[in-house]
A and B are shown apart, each in its own frame.
Chain A
Amino acid sequence: MTASEVVEVDGHIIDSLILAKVLDVILDAGGDYRILEVDIGRTSVDPSRARLEVTALDEDALAALLAELQIHGANRVDQADAAVEPAEVDGVLPAGFYATTNLPTQVRRGGHWVDVDNPEMDCALVILPDGRVRTAPMHRVRAGDPVVVGRTGVRVQALERPRGATPFEFMNSEVSSEKPKEQLVARVADRIKAAKATGGKVLAVCGPAVVHTGAAPDVAALVRAGIIDVLFAGNGFATHDIESNVLGTSLGVPLGDGLPPEGGHSNHLRVINEVRRRGSIAAAVRDGYIAGGVMYECVQHGVPFVLGGSVRDDGPLPDVFTDVVEAADAMRAQLPGVAVALMLASTLHAIATGNVLPAGVETYCVDINQAVVTKLADRGSHQALGIVTDVGLFLSTLAAHLL
């Protein structure tokens, strides 16, 4: 892991070639620099000032380089430790709290940079008693928790784009319906294989359209094959998945011949009712009411799922979290180890998941609607790669590559 520090050099650094010399010294030592700021004096009397981020191979090389730079007047910018204030009340942060991004973050404590355990956007940074630093959503903070305030002593690292033949490079992150889908899906499949090979987990976030487009059997097969390790969805997806397996319809429409039967519109309500009668999806699987589908495979193969509720939900299914704060916490609990996230035709759950994912998780957002992909990126999940296509088509091709 490379090490970096910010140095500042000021005075007549242009006319005296000190800046040129400092930059040369950095490169000659095998280091690298990024000019963060240069303020060049207007006349020869006005001093100039430059702020550089100096990177070296490791901490030792950096220390030697910084010592060399100091001789030429380039001094490490006094990086103070992060300021910390205790939360006064449960669930309330000190005013001026540092609001996180989803990027890898470090906090300076006792003169050292400490990695934040679990990067997540829109959280606070809490110092644990053992010195580690964690992100914590507002509601999780307890009175007395030491919370980082201000920006001093906090830094984030921009993610390097993965190099090599990755879809990231291939797509250059542009969302477009004009890309060749077959190649793209093949590359996503390769990334999933690569992640699985190194022990990474795959998270699938499913919207109801997965069922409507007839792709649920592909998802079920991916669960059964151990490729999908975690499932996030809402009441709708789980309900339609169960409905299609129990009654052969999705929102009352038969997935086979497509002609809606009389009273089909209430099918999903009857299914929810029966699952509620049994107490849980797992109980309904055990007593044979649910005999197939994504939820069935999740129960049978011990794949954890989190169903987040919404105001529009019918029922809902007994497994659905009706408290959104609890739902988000349940999602967070499943994130460790996740390396790839597939957002499958889901707008709201995709954004909710994007909110809790670290930026380092490879995220593929598949939707027929380009706006969904854009929306995800606009909400801060810049790492998401958009694939504008029919989710049914995507999943059947993906399953063909992986199974």
Chain B
Amino acid sequence: MCPPEHFGVLYEINPWMHREVTVDLDRAREQWGDLVATLVEAGAEVELLEPQPGLPDLVFTANAGTVNRGRYVPSRFRHPYRQPEVAFDVAWFDGHGYDVVELPEGVGHEGAGDALPFGHAFLSGYKSRSDAAAHGPLSTLLGAPVRPIELVDDRLYHLDLTFCPLDDRRAMVAPHAWDRYGCKVVEALVPEPLVLSDDEMLAFCANSVVVGSTVVMASCPPPVGRQLEAWGFDVAVVGVDEFQKAGGGCRCLTLALDVATPAGAGPRPSTETAAAR
């Protein structure tokens, strides 16, 4: 995670961002501190990236890159505002013993914000920020299948606003944010989905951090909370509305370093789905 010392809405690169909206930096620091404390209490260890002046979105470490089994693939940002972040991200991973491998020139991908592991595979959002063409090379670099999903709602510009893996069978899913092919892919991949309504999706429910059996969320509408509890999860709500002014929620503020998909070939999705047109 990266402390919000230099956080602010200094430019507009998603529909949530409005430069005329002021960020209350003290409140942001407080919310970020609460998030760290909640994660630690749930059993997480938190590593810190040093904040940098002029890089307000460095705080959203989910976009630093994609991690799998000790390997780190730095992001290639679409917007020039965020491109200078990469050097600092790479320096951190380099300094912490990760195997740093880069995507080829010319294909954009915005890290764990757009690539989430489920089972043996990654789902990867594309169109708003990441390129569909990135999924091939990303798959090679991560050593796991990557299944691209088209994001069709501009407000849900990263996959992590629409999909939240809970365990190896369950995930929160927001099918309205995907095209029909993407919906079929998720349907085939996730045996027990918790389907979010539009309102729940826009309340950043899917942008939650899961630590063990604790789900750390920006807000928890009762239907979502009931289902999560029925499945045995504890819900911890941490307000992060200062960060939502920039279009980011709890998960955007974190990057999971312990991702490790099982090596080897996982099952193919059911033929019925794969053949579905």
Indicate whether A and B interact: yes
Contact assessment for B277 and A20 in the assembled complex, using a CB-CB cutoff below 8 Å: yes
CA distance A44 to B121 in the complex (A): 9
Which of B67-75, B141-149, B229-237 lies at the binding interface?
A: B141-149
| One of A10, A12, A24, A72 near B145 (C-beta < 8 A) | A12
Contacts of B148 in A (CB 8 A): 11-12, 16, 18, 73
Q: Is the CB of A44 within 8 A of B131?
A: no
Known contacts: A18-B148, A44-B267, A45-B265. The answer to whether A12 contacts B179 by CB under 8 A is no
Closest residue of B by beta carbon distance from A48: B136
Question: Cβ of A12 and Cβ of B146 under 8 Å apart?
Answer: yes
Asked if residues B144 and A73 are in contact (CB atoms below 8 Å), the reply is: no
Is residue B176 within 8 Å, beta carbon to beta carbon, of the partner chain? no
**Per-residue interface assignment for chain B, residues 126 to 157, with 1 indicating a CB less than 8 Å from any chain A CB and 0 otherwise:** 11000111111001100111111110000000
Note all chain B residues with C-beta closer than 8 A to A70: 133
Interface membership of A158, Cβ < 8 A? no
Query: With A12-B139, A15-B147 known to touch, is A44 a contact of B120 (CB < 8 Å)?
Result: yes
Q: Assess whether A73 is in contact with B132, with CB atoms less than 8 Å apart.
A: yes
Task: Write out the residue numbers on chain B whose beta carbons fall within 8 Å of the beta carbon of A175.
Answer: none
Asked if A254 CB lies within 8 Å of chain B CBs, one says no
In A10-67, the 8 Å CB interface with B consists of 10-12, 14-18, 20-21, 23-24, 43-47
Question: In the assembled complex, which residues on chain B have CB atoms less than 8 Å from the CB atom of A10?
Answer: 136
- The main secondary structure of chain A at its interface with chain B is loop
List, in ascending order, chain B residues with CB within 8 A of A16's CB: 135, 147-149, 181, 185
Closest Cβ–Cβ distance, residue A332 to chain B (whole Å): 47
CB pair B269 A47 closer than 8 Å: no
Q: Roughly how many angstroms separate A11 CA and B124 CA in the complex, as a whole number?
A: 12
Contact B181 A45, beta carbon cutoff 8 Å: no
Docked complex Cα distance between A24 and B149 (Å) = 15
* A43 x B265 contact (CB < 8 A): yes
Known A16-B147, A16-B185, A18-B148; judge A47-B179 contact (CB<8 A): no
Tell me if B266 is interfacial: C-beta within 8 Å of chain A: yes
Q: Of B131, B136, B146, B185, which contacts A17 at CB under 8 A?
A: B185
Cβ contact within 8 Å between B264 and A45:
yes
Interface residue? B274 (CB, 8 A): yes
Asked whether, in the complex, the Cβ of B127 is within 8 Å of the Cβ of A71, the reply is yes
Complex Cα–Cα for A100 and B101 (A) = 45
- Inside 8 A of B276's CB, which chain A residues have their CB? 17, 20
DSSP class of B's interface residues: helix, strand, loop or mixed?
A: mixed
Q: Is B184 an interface residue (CB 8 A)?
A: yes
Distance to closest chain B CB from A47 (angstroms): 6
B79 at the binding interface (Cβ < 8 Å): no
Closest residue of B by beta carbon distance from A69: B132
The digit string for B241-272, where 1 denotes a CB below 8 A from any CB of A, is 00000000000000000000000111111000
What is the distance, in angstroms, from A76's C-beta to the closest C-beta of chain B?
Answer: 11
B277 → chain A closest CB, angstroms: 5
Q: Which residue of B lies closest to A49 (CB)?
A: B136
Q: Nearest Cβ in chain B — how far from A145, in angstroms?
A: 37
Contacts of B134 in A (CB 8 A): 73
| Chain B positions within 8 Å of A17 at CB level | 181-182, 184-185, 273-274, 276
Q: Which residues of chain B are within 8 angstroms of A14 by Cβ–Cβ distance?
A: 274
Decide yes or no whether A75 CB sits under 8 A from chain B. Answer: yes
Bound CA span A47–B131, Å: 17
Closest A residue to B269 by beta carbon equals A15
Known contacts A17-B185, A17-B276; decide if A11 and B126 are in contact (CB<8 Å): no
Choose among A12, A43, A44, A72 the residue that contacts B150 (Cβ–Cβ < 8 A).
A72
Q: 14 extra interchain contacts, Cβ-Cβ under 8 A, other than A11-B139, A12-B147? A: A12-B135, A12-B148, A15-B185, A15-B269, A16-B135, A16-B181, A17-B276, A20-B277, A44-B266, A44-B269, A45-B144, A47-B140, A72-B126, A73-B135
Q: Chain B interface (Cβ within 8 Å of chain A)?
A: 120-121, 126-127, 131-136, 139-140, 143-150, 179, 181-182, 184-185, 264-269, 273-274, 276-277
The list of the 7 closest CB pairs from A to B, nearest first, reads A73-B132, A11-B136, A43-B265, A16-B147, A17-B181, A73-B133, A45-B265
List chain A positions with a Cβ less than 8 A from chain B: 10-12, 14-18, 20-21, 23-24, 43-47, 70-73, 75
